[in-house]
Chains A and B, each alone.
Chain A
Amino acid sequence: MEVQQFNYDNKIVKYFIMATLIWGAVALLVGLLIALQLAFPAFNFGFEYTTYGRTRPLHTNAVIFAFIGNAMFAGVYHSLQRVLKARLFNDVISKIHFWGWQIIIVLAALTLLSGFTTGKEYAELEWPIDILIALIWVAFGVNMIGTILTRRVKHIYASVWWYLATFLGIAVLHIVNSIELPVSILKSYPIYAGAQDAVVQWWYGHNAVAFFLTTPWLGLMYYYLPKASNRPIYSYQLSIVHFWTLIFLYMWSGPHHLLYQALPDWVQALGVTFSVMLIAPSWGGMINGLMTLRGAWDKVRDQAELKFMVVALTAYGMATFEGPMMSLKTVNSISHFTDWTIAHTHIAGMGWNGGMIFGMLYWLVPKLFRTPLYSKKLANTHFWLATLGILLFAIPLYWAGITQWLMLRQYNANGLLTYPSFLETTTQIMPMYHARILGGLLFFSGFLLFMYNMFKTVLAGNLVDNEAAEAPVLTDSSARKAGETFHRMMERKGVILVVAVLLALVVGGIVEIIPMMKIESNIPKIAAVTPYTPLELAGRDIYVSNGCYNCHSQQVRPLRWETDRYGEYSKIGEFVYDHPFQWGSRRTGPDLARAGWVGSSTYKTAIWHFNHFTKPKEINPQTIMPAYPWFTANTVDLTMIPVKIRAMQTLGVPYPKDYDQKAVADYKDQAEKIVAELKASGVDVAADKEIIAMIAYLHKLGKDISPANQK
């Protein structure tokens, strides 16, 4: 049999490792900043570019796509070549992939801080960047599938199944969720509205967790854990069963982010049931990982990389049990909109993804650079700092979440809410926010030790850019052999595997999304609900641009303690003109769905909003709402109004024909009324300032269905 000589591309792996280290520090630092901002509003620094509504998406995007993303590419590109015995498919594509991804990260940071956002969580990036992401992601996929097709190993190893699911899953999710209508170079509206947008967005949002933070990392676990521990994988059978069940079931579970919200009951029920069924498939990965280590626990004591992987698997097991529990409606009514969810995501992010990244790199970097790790002692210190950091971060937030929920639903002996002011609950949990900063600080200081250790190791070692390898040429007979299982045959046939994975992935999305789009009874209309006026639409864009949804929901759930606090619960028909929906996922401040309902507790007059935006501390001394003084200085670009109206018409919003011609005049009329109202209270603002549009938008929320509007 002919033996072929070839090289592994180590240089690209090095690049992605370096990017991981640098972006990891940035992402964690921004995390620390937003933790400080929540406890001490002064850390918003008084600039619109550094205010929480913009820095929070920067943190989530940086952690997921920059830190975890680069680490994933490093791990995938290193292991893929070795389990397939082939160099990466194409060096040019590898370079395009690397540099393209870094450009995306820089563009993301710049645009998010500048207020260019779609307002959809974890998919905030605007349309030109979305297109770039799609192209670079396809480059990654071409490189992967090309390598699979040119491999020298007959069967495709388990890790690679997970990598394939990652590529295909994210490709489908990203493209479907990002279909949007551009109105300018950095502004677009999603084609979906309201409840439809919510279903698509959380189908994406939840599965970004699945296919960016879970599947690639399970694949990496299947390579790096047996390599680092030098133990065989415990169960090949289990790896098959939990792979297929996990990728099939995950895609259905997105609606668990929308329980008790304005969504048809059947979609919610699918979200609940499929989430619960995910427990065992998720735990399959943890079991296979931990059982692989049996008989090797003495190594875990000595090797920091294995310690991190054990913590990672444990955190994964906890988070994937907790997640399905949070998908039960009763539990969800507690965890949703509170810090419980934040604690949950950080157990998974810091514990599972962080643990896997640290574990992988503590093993990989010395191996790649052919030198021992600079300091085992530092690595152990890092381990303890990280583990303590996670606990100190998560426990206060669980505490805060439950405390806030208990307060929000508490009635006094007279049947009235004990804490009618939302702010009282925020003030109560403030000490927990301080403790959380400490947890973050521990985790970050551990990361700095890790960075130092990595750089020292890299400097002491020397990398072979192109590492020589040899393997016999692959000869494969296509026919299914006697006694060969179907799955075993599929492992030999890359194309069939790709198609099978794709099929398993798309079912859940199709069953949930298409009926939401096509069956009208799913979206019961409300006659009183009218499209946004041009001024309200402009205000909505400012609301999105400043990331208000990061702290304020627009969704009153059908729970008595919510309707007593805010008013009538939200209906599907209220949101049919909302491109994008802005329901939010965390209430750091009160819900705003009834901010335009005269007589509700959240209805405030124009002058109140003016004072509150410019000097929130004067209205509520304990508030953590940042000040937005620039709202009175920034001017709305009126030339964009007709463009936006036409875009909305294209998306099906029923403005009268040729309304774009009249829109600016209507804008000014409505604005002048608010200007006059403010003037009567002694405040002079020009009609084209952002604050006027913001006030108009807030006064639209819930107005259409309010009694005052029916008169």
Chain B
Amino acid sequence: MANKINKTTENTSEENNHSDDFDGIKELHNPAPNWIILVFLATIGFSLLYAVRYFGFPDNKKDQASEYAQSSAEFDKTHSQLPQGGGSTATVSQEELITSGAQLFATKGCIACHGLKGEGNAVGPNLTDNFWLNGCSQENLIHMISEGKPEKGMTPFKTMLTQDEIKSLSVFILKKLVGSNPPNGKAPQGVECK
């Protein structure tokens, strides 16, 4: 089979029509395979169509900014129907809230500023004492996690955590961290809450 193809394509009569000696290298005069020419023409065709799409109609809204605006609007439309994390009505035990809160505390970047055990470090305050900078209630704490205080370094987590997750974090902090008295606790900041 291979030989057959070779015989039909190899144009040996022209092999030596080059008078040069390229260090013994000969060049055959086979035509380029048809399929690669077709591939070339197809890619040129693709490029022309692509160019018409992007250059042909200045107002066809195919520019980067319009495409983003469109896709983003679609995204918002689908996602506005989602519960946004608030509507969970299932009853979850406090133990479960603490377990998931502990997990979130360890993995979502809290320890970077509040320490492995919530003891606080140069960046963030101690979460294990009963002194608070931004109010005493659980609602205050949830608000702080959710909205943050960027200028002081507290990242707003509402775009990263669901309201349920923020709630379980707050439960973990208030029920598990507060009063745990870890070593190297940062000095108290804010007002003491009873």
Q: Which residues of A contact B (CB under 8 A)?
A: 79, 82-83, 85, 153-155, 157-158, 223, 226-227, 232-239, 241-242, 245, 260, 265-266, 268-269, 272-274, 276-277, 279-281, 283-284, 287, 291, 294-295, 324, 411-417, 420-421, 424, 558-560, 563-564, 569, 598-601, 603-605, 607-608, 610-611, 618-621, 681-683, 708
- The 9 A-B pairs with the shortest beta carbon distances in the complex, nearest first, are A420-B160, A280-B40, A605-B153, A415-B79, A273-B47, A558-B68, A232-B26, A82-B23, A238-B32
> Of residues 78 to 103 in B, which have CB atoms within 8 Å of A's CB atoms?
79, 82-85
> Of residues 142 to 158 in B, which have CB atoms within 8 Å of A's CB atoms?
148, 150-153, 155-156
> Of residues 45 to 96 in B, which have CB atoms within 8 Å of A's CB atoms?
46-47, 50-51, 54-55, 62-65, 67-68, 71-72, 75, 79, 82-85
**Chain A contacts of B36 at CB under 8 A?**
238, 280, 283-284, 287
Interface CB pairs A-B, < 8 A, 16? A158-B27, A233-B26, A233-B27, A234-B30, A266-B55, A279-B39, A280-B36, A283-B36, A413-B82, A414-B85, A420-B159, A421-B109, A598-B150, A611-B121, A620-B112, A682-B122
A235–B113 CB distance below 8 A: no
**B43, CB-defined interface residue at 8 Å:** yes
**Chain B contacts of A558 at CB under 8 A?**
64-65, 67-68
Instruction: Evaluate whether A277 and B44 lie within 8 angstroms (CB atoms) in the complex, with A238-B32, A611-B121 already known.
Output: yes
* Identity of the chain A residue whose Cβ is nearest the Cβ of B84 in the assembled complex: A414
Complex: how many Å from CA A689 to CA B190? 32
A276–B121 CB distance below 8 A: no
A416–B40 CB distance below 8 A: no
1/0 per residue B5-43: CB within 8 Å of A?
A: 010000000010011111111111111110011011001
**Chain B contacts of A265 at CB under 8 A?**
54, 62-64
**Chain A contacts of B113 at CB under 8 A?**
608, 619
Instruction: Evaluate whether A607 and B22 lie within 8 angstroms (CB atoms) in the complex, with A235-B31, A236-B28, A237-B30 already known.
Output: no
Select the residue from A79, A619, A708 with max chain B CB neighbours within 10 A. A619
B160–A153 CB distance below 8 A: no
A681–B46 CB distance below 8 A: no
Other contacts beyond A420-B161, A421-B108: 20, CB < 8 A: A82-B23, A85-B21, A153-B22, A155-B18, A226-B26, A232-B28, A237-B32, A265-B62, A269-B50, A274-B47, A277-B44, A295-B2, A412-B162, A416-B159, A421-B160, A598-B150, A599-B156, A619-B111, A621-B111, A683-B122
Instruction: Evaluate whether A83 and B23 lie within 8 angstroms (CB atoms) in the complex, with A414-B85, A560-B75 already known.
Output: yes
1/0 per residue B113-126: CB within 8 Å of A?
A: 10000000111000
**What is the total number of residues of chain B having a CB less than 8 Å from a CB of chain A?**
66
Partner of B43, one of A241, A268, A277, A682: A277
Select the residue from B25, B40, B50, B79 with max chain A CB neighbours within 10 A. B25
Complex: how many Å from CA A154 to CA B18? 10
B27–A239 CB distance below 8 A: yes
Complex: how many Å from CA A495 to CA B134? 79
A611–B123 CB distance below 8 A: yes
* Identity of the chain B residue whose Cβ is nearest the Cβ of A81 in the assembled complex: B23
Partner of B25, one of A227, A280, A560, A683: A227
Nearest-Cβ distance from residue B191 to partner chain A, whole angstroms: 19
* Identity of the chain A residue whose Cβ is nearest the Cβ of B79 in the assembled complex: A415
A420–B108 CB distance below 8 A: yes
**Chain A contacts of B148 at CB under 8 A?**
599
* Identity of the chain B residue whose Cβ is nearest the Cβ of A599 in the assembled complex: B150
Nearest-Cβ distance from residue B82 to partner chain A, whole angstroms: 5
Nearest-Cβ distance from residue B72 to partner chain A, whole angstroms: 5
Instruction: Evaluate whether A560 and B123 lie within 8 angstroms (CB atoms) in the complex, with A294-B6, A601-B155 already known.
Output: no
B153–A226 CB distance below 8 A: no
**Chain A contacts of B21 at CB under 8 A?**
85, 153
* Identity of the chain B residue whose Cβ is nearest the Cβ of A601 in the assembled complex: B155
Instruction: Evaluate whether A154 and B150 lie within 8 angstroms (CB atoms) in the complex, with A265-B54, A601-B155 already known.
Output: no
B54–A266 CB distance below 8 A: yes
* Identity of the chain A residue whose Cβ is nearest the Cβ of B33 in the assembled complex: A287
**Chain B contacts of A421 at CB under 8 A?**
107-109, 160
* Identity of the chain B residue whose Cβ is nearest the Cβ of A600 in the assembled complex: B150
**Chain B contacts of A564 at CB under 8 A?**
159
A260–B64 CB distance below 8 A: yes
Select the residue from B28, B65, B113, B148 with max chain A CB neighbours within 10 A. B28
**Chain A contacts of B75 at CB under 8 A?**
560
**Chain A contacts of B19 at CB under 8 A?**
154
B160–A417 CB distance below 8 A: yes
**Chain A contacts of B27 at CB under 8 A?**
158, 232-233, 235-236, 239
**Chain A contacts of B28 at CB under 8 A?**
232-236
A414–B162 CB distance below 8 A: yes
**Chain A contacts of B55 at CB under 8 A?**
266, 269
**Chain A contacts of B15 at CB under 8 A?**
232
B25–A157 CB distance below 8 A: yes
Partner of A295, one of B6, B32, B65: B6
Instruction: Evaluate whether A620 and B109 lie within 8 angstroms (CB atoms) in the complex, with A269-B50, A294-B2, A682-B122 already known.
Output: yes
Partner of B31, one of A237, A273, A411: A237
**Chain A contacts of B25 at CB under 8 A?**
83, 157, 223, 226-227, 232-233
**Chain B contacts of A608 at CB under 8 A?**
112-113, 123, 153
Complex: how many Å from CA A82 to CA B20? 12
